[in-house]
Amino acid sequence: MTDLLAFGAAVLELTPPDRERLETTDQLNLAATGPAVNTAVAAARLGGDAAWLSKLPDTALGRRIVAELGSHGVETTVKWTDEGRQALAFAERAGSPRGNTRIDDRTASAVASATPEELPLSVIGSPEMVFVDAALPARSATLTDTATTLLAEAGDAGTETVLGLGREEPSAATVEAVEGVLPTVDTLIAAEAGTAALGDRANPTETAHALAAEHDLETVVIVRDEHGGVVWNDRTVHERAPPATETIDDRGAFDAFCGGFLARRATGEDAGTALAAGVASEALARTVPGPVPAITPEELERCVESIAESGTIE
């Protein structure tokens, strides 16, 4: 049985080596990425049975996505199409004051037209969990319908449904889409910027309590970037502080948190134990160049051991 099914868009991200500029480089590194992609990759690399569901163009670029996911142990179920194109992104990495830059080129991408009929839950069987990136439903009206239908079908089948709301401040369209799909969601994993948009409180603990109560959620996880994380589950809040981390590249960090947390939950671990795995995965991903969280179970175990529990709050 599949532990985790991640539904979402894939992007081919092109980045100059080191910290070169796009306008002057003569080389580009290529990686298949995206919130659902990276979440599945992290879960699979940490020993989970992870799958990715999406729609891709039947081109060399679409096939590149599938090949790269397969290299990390992720099973792929894809609706191939001759219409639409592969989404791209161009990224620069730089320190202050220049900062990082990302240029998205995803107009007319194949996934934007993915319908519920093309991607039914039945094609994957009965996964333990279904994960959807919160920005996906905001991409098109069709994707709103597809994501909502998939989550509703999963919930009706007894599958845990998970929504991930990443680190970038969400647009008004994303917030609206999130509020529309939350009735079908069991677990919300969100960065602090996302929870602030949904209704911030005085501190992460109060925010987690409030979101769980307002949206009838079973679990709320708040990812605090370099400050660890908080999880609300069964009327109890757990907090975990991160280990000392030298950040090399933070692009895949939030997604690694999602993958690490969900991989542990899928095996029956309690929320506090899963939170430690998520925090450790996020920290490890920060040490890996590139957007893909290429981390290992051995690294995770060592990192979890170094994480101090800051407390359990009733």
Q: Which residues are catalytic?
A: 255
Amino acid at 60: A
Residue in 258, 263, 205, 270 with CA at minimum distance from that of residue 232: 205
Residue showing tokens 């809040």: 237
Peptide bond into 97 cis (omega under 30): yes
Q: What is the DSSP letter of 83?
A: S
Please name every residue paired with 33 in a beta bridge, in sequence order, or none if there are none: 11
Residue in the structure block whose two tokens are 């502080």? 241
Measured between its terminal Cα atoms, the distance across the chain in Å is 34
Residue pair 163/189 in contact (Cβ under 8 Å)? The answer is: yes
196 Cα distance to chain centroid: 18
d(CA 239, CA 241): 7
- Cβ proximity of 189 and 158 under 8 Å: no
To 5 degrees, how large is the angle CA 305–CA 291–CA 208? 55
